[in-house]
Structure 1
Amino acid sequence: MKATVAGAPVSFGVFEMTPEGAATVSADQLLEVLADAGYGGVDLGPVGFLGRDADLRARLSRFGLELAGGWVQLPFSDDEAFEASLPSLHDALRVFSDAAEAGPGRLPLPTLADDGSVARRARPGRGDDVDPLPDPAWERLFANTERAAGIVRAAGFEPTFHHHAGTFVESPEEIDRFLAHVDVDLTLDTGHLLIADGDPLDAVARWGDRINHLHLKDVDLAELGRVLSSGGGMTEVWSSGSFVAFGQGDLDLAGVMDAIEARGFDGWVVVEQDVLNAPDVAIDAFRTARGDDQRVNRAALRPWV
């Protein structure tokens, strides 16, 4: 397979939901683990975490890594809120441009995602029951996604769209509807698809020609089911340890990778083992455990890439 494997800050508890004041793994510590384990790239994480301008390029170069992509969450179904959020998109694109200035072997993909709603985030995978999106709001979501995609392409990058639990594009049926109306290809996230009762193997068969980015997660479905059945939302899912190292959960990794390879996939394979660390976490032990998992994850992908 011609793909390149990347790691992600979220696998080390570093993302937009990291608790205020919580101890975190530093950018250099995180990149050192990924480089030593044989990853070729890294996802952006919170804008600025890896640095900007020359600092960002120097950090990536020092560890022999390239930027794979990065999360850009926008309220696509609300015109006014979407307009107000556009500066965050432009800011993220400046960081992508910073990283790409040195001429990477594979360009990063700005990863667009819907903002969802409080009700949906509280009941992940059940969004259409608790907060269905009316048809006019769907039309706004389509139009604003196309507008954001145009901005991304004007900056020299190809966008990808991430279906995500707790948003208005989470279930297989919602993904079908989105892809039928928008000229933006898909980030397939195996973990978030499983939250929404999707089947990753079916997803490759169903949307394989539209998948231009891959987020791989293994999931302990028993633990995930416990969290969701007890009324937990996305915060509880991230905190529960539902996302586990490859081989410790229920994802048919070989099946998914074989199917992706058969499709001729040539892009980024981003390993994400989302974890939300507690504010009082013992950061050294946490970093060691996360590093051990990422070495397991990288080794598990060796048969393909």
Structure 2
Amino acid sequence: MKTIKGPGLFLAQFVGGNAPFDSWTGITTWAADCGYSGVQVPTSDARLLDLDLAASSTAYCDDLMARAGQGIVITELSSHIQGQLVAVHPAYDEAFDAFAAPQVRGNPRARTDWAVDQVKKTLSASRNLGLTAMATFSGSLAWPYIYPWPQRPPGLIETAFDELARRWHPILDHAEDCGVDVCFEIHPGEDLHDGVSFEMFLDRVNQHPRAKMLYDPSHYVLQGLDYLANLDIYADRIGMFHVKDAEFNPTGRQGVYGGFQSWVDRAGRFRSPGDGQVDFGAIFSKLTAQGFDGWAVVEWECALKHPEDGAREGAQFVRDHIIRVTPHAFDDFAAAGTDAQANRRMLGLDR
């Protein structure tokens, strides 16, 4: 067993144009004031770090940490945005172009090459910062065909996953060189959206040891997936943990798909930690017993609550759920101090 580290905060939902959220020192000082010990950093926002420098210079990485507020550490780097662009179905070309560098917009092949390079740089930067895991998305080629109507032609999904694996395998090999796990957030909208799709991917990358999961139970609640059983099944593959809550309250009018409604009007919606239906007590207990040695990172997404309130409450929520593991068994006080011969006598084996 191990004590989970935390609390950490994913900065993607907070970085912005106004102080203290517009600079590395400002936002990390604010996070520390909220009660966080670490931050998960999106590498797609230059206000937080220069990815090219972080990937090439340990001196820059040392300076970055020296400028972090109040002793905050980096829990992991995130390449969610760039990972998404590793694989984009043409239906989403225009929407996802906004995530890419201006020079590759309108050119899907160049955009993919740019995204792959960005993810590899994030892995190199992780190594330079002494980190052992990176958060990302898988991207999606098959997602428009998630519901089989019209009937999917034979081989369509297999071809999509073959191509997804072809693009990611060299990245995973680079991750091995860097000593960093690639933790795919299992997420609707991505081809890796549940356990079965993750296994399909693993099969095609030869069970690559660096391919791990970012476990976020909120995405499982909204799919009707057993998020506690998922921990038992994939204990060896879970490399990262987002603390995000959700609720699913289907009605006679809508269910999983939400009827194209806004988040606040959907049957399934994200909530701040503790305000939804996720049993975090059971999750922290399972992860602790399984020896998960990563961070509990709050990812604030809520349809109702103000983000700064959610952040401050989330830090205390994680602190209240982290289990400091016991150094001994609770019944050690009654130990008899027996030896091998005594054990045999107790079993009647020496009569």
Interval of TM-score (by shorter of Structure 1 and Structure 2):
0.7 to 0.9
- Pairing partner for 2:278 from 241, 248, 251: 251
- Pairing partner for 2:41 from 39, 44, 51: 44
Deviates most, 219-228 or 255-264:
219-228
CA shift at 1:296, angstroms? 3.7
Q: What TM-score do you get using the length of structure 2 for normalisation?
A: 0.65
Q: In the TM superposition, what are the counterparts of 1:28-43 in structure 2 within 5 Å?
A: 28-43=25-40
Name the SS for the 2:260 alignment partner. coil
1:195 aligns with 2:222: yes
> Deviations for 1:236-294, whole angstroms, at most 9, x for unmatched residues?
449979322222110010111111111111123222122589xxxxxxx9564243333
Q: Hey, what does 2:86 align to over in structure 1?
A: 75
- Pairing partner for 1:59 from 67, 72, 91: 67
Q: What TM-score do you get using the length of structure 1 for normalisation?
A: 0.74
Q: Which amino acid aligns with 1:198?
A: L
CA contact (8 A) 1:76 1:145 kept: no
Q: Hey, what does 1:282 align to over in structure 2?
A: none
Q: In the TM superposition, what are the counterparts of 1:7-156 in structure 2 within 5 Å?
A: 7-12=9-14, 14=15, 25-27=21-23, 28-45=25-42, 46-52=44-50, 53=53, 54=60, 56-60=64-68, 62-70=70-78, 71=80, 72-76=83-87, 81=108, 84-94=111-121, 97-98=124-125, 101=128, 104=130, 107-116=131-140, 120=144, 127-129=146-148, 134-156=157-179
CA contact (8 A) 1:245 1:296 kept: no
Q: Which runs of 5+ in 2 are unaligned?
A: 54-59, 90-106, 326-351
In structure 2, the CA distance between the partners of 1:22 and 1:275, relative to structure 1 (3 Å rule), is farther
| Aligned mates of 1:248, 1:100 — CA distance in 2 | 36
- Pairing partner for 1:221 from 240, 243, 248: 248
In structure 2, the CA distance between the partners of 1:117 and 1:63, relative to structure 1 (3 Å rule), is farther
In structure 2, the CA distance between the partners of 1:32 and 1:24, relative to structure 1 (3 Å rule), is closer
Q: Hey, what does 1:174 align to over in structure 2?
A: 197
CA contact (8 A) 1:50 1:56 kept: no
CA contact (8 A) 2:187 2:219 kept: yes
CA contact (8 A) 1:56 1:98 kept: no
Deviates most, 161-170 or 173-182:
173-182
In structure 2, the CA distance between the partners of 1:97 and 1:181, relative to structure 1 (3 Å rule), is closer
Q: Hey, what does 2:309 align to over in structure 1?
A: 289
Q: Which amino acid aligns with 2:160?
A: A
| Aligned mates of 2:68, 2:76 — CA distance in 1 | 11
Q: Which runs of 5+ in 1 are unaligned?
A: 121-125, 278-284
| Aligned mates of 2:165, 2:125 — CA distance in 1 | 29
Deviates most, 81-90 or 223-232:
223-232
| Aligned mates of 1:100, 1:223 — CA distance in 2 | 44
Q: Which amino acid aligns with 1:254?
A: G
Report the number of matched residues. Answer: 281
Q: Hey, what does 1:280 align to over in structure 2?
A: none
- Aligned-pair identity in percent equals 20
Name the SS for the 2:301 alignment partner. coil
Where relative contact order (Cα < 8 A, 6+ residues apart) is larger, the structure is: 1
Tell which structure's C-alpha radius of gyration is larger: 2
